[in-house]
Amino acid sequence: MNEDFSPSRIFNRIIHFWWVLALFIILGGIVGILISRVHPPVYESKAVITSVLDYSLLGKIDDTEEDQVFVGIGETIGSTTVKNAVVARAKNGNVALTDEEIRSSLFLDRQDNRWVLRVRLSDPQLAQKIDQYWSESAMQSLAAMKAKALVDFAAQQHINSLVTCLQESVILESGSASCNGQNFAAIQAEITKTVSDPDVQGTSNSLLIWHTSFELTSRPSLPNEPALFGQNLSALAGMAVALLLGLVLFSIDFPAKSGTESDR
């Protein structure tokens, strides 16, 4: 008659044969690493764009405003517009990759005030070339964003001056030649025109972006060896499977050899 399941018996086996379980785990980790290396080699080219705020002009700003600027920069670098520009440059350069393959090779990581542009492909030179297209397109978009921020800030200043002029024309009976009751309708029309113009509808942090500089501090690198992605995860998965398999084996009661048990 088989004995009932006994956790204490299994625990005693594990304590007695701990080295077997440890060996299972080590072998599982090795198998996981070998599986991760079966995949074709992938090379990673890396470029870095660094952003710096001019605090001498901006003065003291809080962390939230600063973070919003850096996040906005990352959104521009990883935007659909920039990626479309990368695809267009690749096509003009006779790159033998589909649009989806190009887009799926682009990875963007933030490191404080730096954005790291990574391109992962099976060809190291091609990875560097795509990363070059990406970094150049990103820098052009950032320059355009900064120029637009200047326009937005100037438009906002213009609106503020019109509002001030409008207030003076209402409050004061007499004012300057440009700010009087006779120009009331004209001032209102100018405010409406400026506010509704899509070319000057900027974000609230246009002043911050205007006083932010961008620089490609690390040009796209040429990888000289494959990058191993998911190796640690594969090793952990292999160790976990080996541990589970070892516990299952320890819980099995293997039948004793025949001829040793007396009949009753």
pLDDT at 48: 97
Residues 109 and 189 in one domain: yes
145, 239: one domain: no
Domain with residue 95: its CATH number is 3.30.1890
Render pLDDT for 161-171 as a digit per residue (tens, 0 to 9).
656 665 555 55
Residue 1, domain member (yes or no) = no
**Residue 182 within a domain:** yes
Same domain, 196 and 177: yes
Q: Which residue has the tokens 């490191």?
A: 111
Q: Is residue 259 part of a domain?
A: no
Q: Does residue 261 form part of some domain?
A: no
51 within some domain: yes
- Amino acid at site 121: L
pTM for this prediction: 0.62
Quick one: tokens of 218? 């690390």
**In this predicted structure, what is the pLDDT of residue 131?**
97
Q: Is residue 258 part of a domain?
A: no
Bridge partners for 51 per DSSP = 214
Residues 201 and 111 occupy one common structural domain:
yes
* Burial of residue 18 (number of CB atoms within 10 Å: 0-12, 13-18, 19+): exposed
Q: Are residues 28 and 89 in the same domain?
A: no
User: What pLDDT, on the 0 to 100 scale, is given for residue 203?
Assistant: 45
- Tokens of residue 84, six digits: 């479309």
Per-residue pLDDT of the chain (264 residues; tens, 9 = 90+): 445 556 777 778 778 878 888 888 888 888 877 776 777 788 999 999 999 887 666 667 777 877 888 888 999 999 999 999 999 999 999 898 999 999 999 999 999 899 999 999 989 999 999 999 999 999 999 998 888 776 666 556 555 565 666 555 555 554 454 555 445 555 555 545 554 555 544 444 566 777 788 899 999 999 988 876 666 777 888 888 888 888 888 777 655 554 444 444
- Is residue 209 located within the same domain as residue 142? yes
- pLDDT (0 to 100) of residue 109: 94
Are 101 and 130 members of one domain? yes
Count, residues in the chain: 264
The CA–CA distances, whole Å, from 80 to 72, 75, 92, 255 equal: 14, 9, 18, 65
Indicate if 77 and 167 belong to the same structural domain.
yes
**Domain span holding position 61:** 43-218
Is 154 part of a structural domain of the chain?
yes
Q: What's the domain count of the chain?
A: 2
Q: Note whether 32 and 48 are same-domain residues.
A: no
The answer on 167 and 98 residing in a single domain is yes
pLDDT at 101: 94
On whether both 14 and 90 belong to a single domain, the answer is: no
Q: Are residues 189 and 243 in the same domain?
A: no
Report yes or no on 136 lying in a domain.
yes
